[in-house]
A and B are shown apart, each in its own frame.
Chain A
Amino acid sequence: MTQDAVGGPEETKTAGGTLQVQMRPTSRDKEGRDHLPKESAPSDSQLVRLVQAGDQRAFGVLIERYGRQVLNTCWRICGHMEDARDLSQEAFLHAFRRIRDFRLDSQFYTWLYRIAVNVSISHRRKMKYRTTTSLDAAVAQRGAEPPDAGRRMNETPDHVVETAERRERLSAALNRLDDDHRTVIVLRDLEGLGYADIAEVLEVPVGTVRSRLHRARHELLALMEPEKADVTSWPSRT
């Protein structure tokens, strides 16, 4: 974790989980408050400071920036699309409520992910969602398509059906994982977070993330193709 300096370079996480470094011009008024730079995208920390100073519009920028990630995280963890929308809103409300306490010694997005994960897991435990969510229904609701849909237009209908079925099984299998395993897979394979970020989100050591992710993937493989599962190769849970 690094605390970025005002006006200096800052690492910004993109949707794909990669980092970009950009210079962030800032301005400060006489009272030392940050103001949104007029021409460049404000950094998370700038926006957080503005929100902490009472600028609610800055929070809107943060919602726009991370709304999709939070929504999808909530969806995949809680397993229910409609609930995910409420939960993601709830996560942002939590974040807004607590942002005064956010001390900028960690990344805002990991903090936000943490809230989203906690809200979703809490909701899931409450609602006891243990059944498989209908992916088709969710997709139909949102009109969401796989990101590579356009590249597969020339696939045969059989292949398309097979792919859709496998995705549905994968989604169902993901939903059957326990909370810890599902969460780590969502953060890594769906949200693209690095191990260090996941560790920060989950507040566990990086080594725990690594082993948990390993177990989760093997468990997921076993759920997908139990006949191929190499159970003996799985590390025992500690």
Chain B
Amino acid sequence: MAEPDVIHHDDWLSAYLDGELTPAARAEAEQRLAGDPAARRRLDELGLLARELGELPRCEVPDDFVAEVQRRIERQFSTSVAAGAGRLRRGWLPLGMAAAVGLSVLVWFEVRSHAPKPARSIVLVDAVTPTEEFKKQPWAMHADLAPPASEPAVLKESSESRAAAMRETSSDDTGAAWVQRLLTIATLDQKMTAGVDEALLREHWFANEPRQLFLIASDPAVSERVEAVLTSMASDREDKHDESKSAGKLAWKGRPGKNFDPAEGEFQWIVRCPRHEWPVILDRLAAASGESVRIELVSGDVLLSGWTAAQTAIASNAGEQLAFGQPLPELSTSERSVSPGKPDIPIPEEPPKKSLFVDNTLTPEKVIEDLIGMLGRSAVSGSPPAEQPEKAGNVEAQGRSAPETTTVASAGVPVHEELRDSSRARKTETHMQEEEEASSLKRAERQAPESKLSSVSTAHSKAGRRPSPEVEAEAFENRLPLAARRLRSVRGDADTSEKSADGASSPTGSTDLPADEVDSKPALSVMSAEGPKLNDMVGGEAGGGGSGQTETRLGLEFAHSRNQIATEWVTIVVRVYVAPSSARPARAQPATRHDPRNENEHPPQN
């Protein structure tokens, strides 16, 4: 009991009454009481009050209380499972598996530019093409690798059409649902590769399907506006994380939390909501914040994460609390804070190129390719390490070619040269479709310049054979434990192997960590022994700077995935930049609106 030895405050009477004083303080209290009749009377009153409070009636638990709670649990669980099974029956599982082994990567991103933009573009890209290598994997042997029959919907530019798209995406057969299925299935399969118990896996997978929207505001004034919007949106949904009650609505995890130190000028919120509501939230944020705020969706990824632990660490600003004892990296404020009068969004001209997530020359292609490589190697956990580069090279990506400036720090894992080459060679018809959609997006933006956000989803799939739903359902039922057993038998002791892999990892490119220092940070390695070293991806962990916060977060989540494999989230990182009002751009500047494809053609000269 951390009670003072001496009495400094007036609250000693209550503490004395409750026996919560230290012996020294208690002795002092008794001495005071002996000489203070008023204090004695007060003590008597407090004692009587406490006694009467203790005598207030207590209600008994109804006989059916436990059964009722368990019924509700069963109901929710079975609902989730049924919904998931329905999805699987429609043939999404194989695609998810493809996603899990890096054959499918989905990235939401918004390409940053160096000028404040009144409108944003959200581009959804995916690549789903199972390779022969993937098909040979034990867990894929019984899987139907046919892509979905339906094409994902395209989220339109204008608010009205976006709203319509939102309504569409609430159904099962449209784009956002397609994407969500893909992600959840992908993460399911990633869990399987880690040998998670099937029952636990299925339960938690479905129970945690709502996604997180991760917001960071770099300025207190902005954060107030963001918080106002979120609070407003969540006011009647607070803590309704119950899918059965809040299906299709924003689900809010607790009250808005300021998890970062305000002194650092950074605020953060976590919003759990159906994926298809993200555009609406971002839209409202942009509308409420005015043009001084730029909302930038940096990257999205399929993450296995121990988010709770990471969140705790961030919230308490005490990284030592993390299970692996790794302090949170020092976050650079160079990009996050905007000083008044500064005319532009302070994105460094030459950002560090340590890794995927600190490389400010990020382009959609790079993000996609690197994630493909990362997911591919991490998921193929049963394969010998020596085969990984080859597998990474076999991954088929439909992302477009990466700029030559791509640098991905790689510790013990080759840079994705083959991957890049293969994706260059694969500038396919799909790519052309994307470009067409980009053109239509630009047209739409010109027509609706007041819109703050634009969403375009492009996803491409091949029509393919699909077995009957019954066959698929049976395959799903049979496949999970089978695959889990096989993977377990292949993997052996994951902890041991991971440690070994960590020991083999080399320092991150630009961080220049000594090898033994890297070894001392096992949590920053990936979940699978043979998978990529997340040290590669979190090169800014030691040096901070640039987009280090994004990178760090991803690293933490991956790290925790090793220990908390049951907790997983798909996390989208959004940064909100603010430009001073004096530097706000004129409203609605269609001519300067940014399109990611344009930036593609003219990559930043970094």
Contact of A103 with B by CB under 8 A: yes
Question: Do B66 and A63 have beta carbons less than 8 Å apart?
Answer: yes
Residue of B13, B57, B254, B306 near A167 (CB, 8 A) is: B57
List of A residues within 8 angstroms of B199 by Cβ: 54
List of A residues within 8 angstroms of B390 by Cβ: none
Question: Do B66 and A60 have beta carbons less than 8 Å apart?
Answer: yes
Contact of A3 with B by CB under 8 A: no
List of B residues within 8 angstroms of A227 by Cβ: none
Question: Do A72 and B46 have beta carbons less than 8 Å apart?
Answer: no
Residue of B58, B236, B239 near A147 (CB, 8 A) is: B58
Contact of A94 with B by CB under 8 A: yes
Q: B317 to chain A: closest CB distance in Å?
A: 14
Question: Do A220 and B49 have beta carbons less than 8 Å apart?
Answer: yes
List of B residues within 8 angstroms of A96 by Cβ: 73
Which residue of the partner chain B has the closest CB to A142? B59
Contact of B204 with A by CB under 8 A: yes
Contact of B432 with A by CB under 8 A: no
A63 in contact with B69 given A53-B200, A84-B59, A167-B52 (CB within 8 Å): yes
Question: Do B59 and A122 have beta carbons less than 8 Å apart?
Answer: no
Of residues 105 through 161 on chain B, the ones whose CB sits less than 8 Å from some CB of chain A are none
Contact of A138 with B by CB under 8 A: yes
Contact of B61 with A by CB under 8 A: yes
Question: Do A221 and B49 have beta carbons less than 8 Å apart?
Answer: yes
Question: Do B52 and A217 have beta carbons less than 8 Å apart?
Answer: no
Contact of B9 with A by CB under 8 A: yes
Interface flags for A100-116 (1: CB within 8 Å of B; 0: not) read 11010000000000000
Contact of A206 with B by CB under 8 A: yes
Interface flags for A148-166 (1: CB within 8 Å of B; 0: not) read 1000000000000000001
Residue of B2, B58, B76 near A144 (CB, 8 A) is: B58
Which residue of the partner chain A has the closest CB to B198? A54
Contact of B163 with A by CB under 8 A: no
A170 in contact with B56 given A100-B566, A101-B308, A233-B42 (CB within 8 Å): yes
The distance in angstroms between the C-alpha atoms of A76 and B46, with both chains bound, is: 19
Q: A197 to chain B: closest CB distance in Å?
A: 11
In addition to A63-B70, A174-B53, A220-B49, 18 A-B residue pairs with Cβ atoms within 8 Å of each other are: A54-B199, A56-B70, A59-B73, A68-B60, A76-B56, A85-B65, A88-B65, A96-B73, A100-B566, A103-B323, A144-B58, A144-B59, A146-B57, A167-B56, A170-B56, A185-B53, A190-B58, A214-B9
Contact of B341 with A by CB under 8 A: no
Contact of A36 with B by CB under 8 A: no
Most buried by A among B9, B58, B241, B566: B58
Contact of B404 with A by CB under 8 A: no
Which residue of the partner chain B has the closest CB to A220? B49
Question: Do A233 and B55 have beta carbons less than 8 Å apart?
Answer: no
Of residues 159 through 204 on chain A, the ones whose CB sits less than 8 Å from some CB of chain B are 166-167, 170-171, 174, 185, 188-190, 192, 194-196
Residue of A60, A148, A224 near B49 (CB, 8 A) is: A224
Interface flags for A57-95 (1: CB within 8 Å of B; 0: not) read 001100110011001100110000100110011001110
Q: How large is the interface on A (under 10, 10 to 19, 20 to 34, 35 or more residues)?
A: 35 or more
Interface flags for B11-31 (1: CB within 8 Å of A; 0: not) read 101110010100000000000
The distance in angstroms between the C-alpha atoms of A144 and B62, with both chains bound, is: 11
Contact of A97 with B by CB under 8 A: yes
Question: Do A214 and B72 have beta carbons less than 8 Å apart?
Answer: no
The distance in angstroms between the C-alpha atoms of A215 and B567, with both chains bound, is: 41
Which residue of the partner chain A has the closest CB to B54? A189
Question: Do B45 and A53 have beta carbons less than 8 Å apart?
Answer: no
Interface residues of A (CB under 8 A from B): 52-54, 56, 59-60, 63-64, 67-68, 71-72, 75-76, 81, 84-85, 88-89, 92-94, 96-98, 100-101, 103, 118-119, 122, 126, 135, 138-139, 142-148, 166-167, 170-171, 174, 185, 188-190, 192, 194-196, 205-207, 210-211, 213-215, 217, 220-221, 224, 228, 230, 233-235
Which residue of the partner chain B has the closest CB to A33? B197
Q: A155 to chain B: closest CB distance in Å?
A: 13
Contact of B68 with A by CB under 8 A: yes
- Some 21 contacts from A to B, beta carbons below 8 A apart, are A54-B197, A63-B69, A67-B65, A67-B66, A68-B60, A81-B59, A89-B72, A98-B308, A100-B204, A100-B567, A103-B309, A167-B52, A167-B55, A171-B56, A188-B18, A189-B50, A196-B1, A214-B10, A221-B45, A230-B42, A235-B9
List of B residues within 8 angstroms of A167 by Cβ: 52, 55-57
List of B residues within 8 angstroms of A235 by Cβ: 9-11
Q: A186 to chain B: closest CB distance in Å?
A: 9
Contact of B168 with A by CB under 8 A: no
List of B residues within 8 angstroms of A139 by Cβ: 57
Q: A103 to chain B: closest CB distance in Å?
A: 7
Contact of B203 with A by CB under 8 A: yes
Question: Do B20 and A71 have beta carbons less than 8 Å apart?
Answer: no
List of B residues within 8 angstroms of A210 by Cβ: 3, 11, 14-15, 20
Interface flags for B172-214 (1: CB within 8 Å of A; 0: not) read 0000000000000000000000000101100110010000000
A92 in contact with B69 given A53-B197, A54-B199, A97-B241 (CB within 8 Å): yes
Interface flags for B290-311 (1: CB within 8 Å of A; 0: not) read 0000000000000000101100
Contact of B242 with A by CB under 8 A: yes
Contact of B450 with A by CB under 8 A: no
Contact of B238 with A by CB under 8 A: yes
The distance in angstroms between the C-alpha atoms of A210 and B207, with both chains bound, is: 39
Q: B11 to chain A: closest CB distance in Å?
A: 3
A138 in contact with B59 given A54-B199, A67-B65, A210-B14 (CB within 8 Å): yes
Of residues 217 through 242 on chain B, the ones whose CB sits less than 8 Å from some CB of chain A are 236, 238-239, 241-242
Q: B484 to chain A: closest CB distance in Å?
A: 12
Question: Do B11 and A214 have beta carbons less than 8 Å apart?
Answer: yes
